[in-house]
Structure 1
């Protein structure tokens, strides 16, 4: 039996489902990175911040915990907004990940801003 051709509507639905699946997978990968950080694992999400401080670099304290505030995905890009806490200190984190087709981080950019101390 010859395969049935897919209608234009079928192609559109297939593309939408494939894109949704990719976005969901990438969001799950970003959440898995957060979970790894919260378990204390050395991870690409915090490696730049936990290395020894040097010129223009700041090392974060041990015991860092991340709380996800929002997570947005579009294609192979995921933007994560979180609160990072260690002891009494807190930072706002915004990071953008681009994942390759195998689910590895292809690029990663972030911004970490100290939150003012509550009085």
Structure 2
């Protein structure tokens, strides 16, 4: 017997696949924000390092590099653990982001901790 789209199993499968694709989309959006920060584009993740430019647009320190250590997505929320480096300094960045249906950042909560260990 071939399953039909109106059967309960196909509805549950549809919900499961829709939830998975939403998590994957949001995970990719966070990684895109990391990549944009590495290109020097100010965004919600790089806000702690932004400074005003002469033109009024925010600027980032030269050489700021973000490295995504882990990304966990659940429904519309994504948790990012990253390392940020600039001018010999390093920070641990933990961020929780929520996205709207269009993929725009709806909420962003960041915790930034300076790395106090000395590199050998």
1:29 corresponds in structure 2 to: 29
What is the CA-CA distance between 1:5 and the residue it aligns to? 5.2
What is the CA-CA distance between 1:73 and the residue it aligns to? 0.2
2:119 corresponds in structure 1 to: 118
1:18 corresponds in structure 2 to: 18
In structure 2, distance between residues paired with 1:5 and 1:84 = 47
TM-score after normalising by structure 2 = 0.83
* Secondary structure of the structure 2 residue equivalent to 1:118: coil
In the TM superposition, what whole-angstrom CA distance separates every residue of 1:18-46 from its partner, at most 9, and x where no partner exists? 00000000001000000000001122221
Unpaired runs of at least 5, structure 2: 53-59
Q: Alignment length, in residue pairs?
A: 109
* Aligned 1:1-119 pairs, distance under 5 A: 6-51=6-51, 61-116=61-116, 117-119=118-120
TM-score after normalising by structure 1 = 0.84
Pairwise CA RMSD = 1.6
* Secondary structure of the structure 1 residue equivalent to 2:71: strand
Unpaired runs of at least 5, structure 1: 53-59
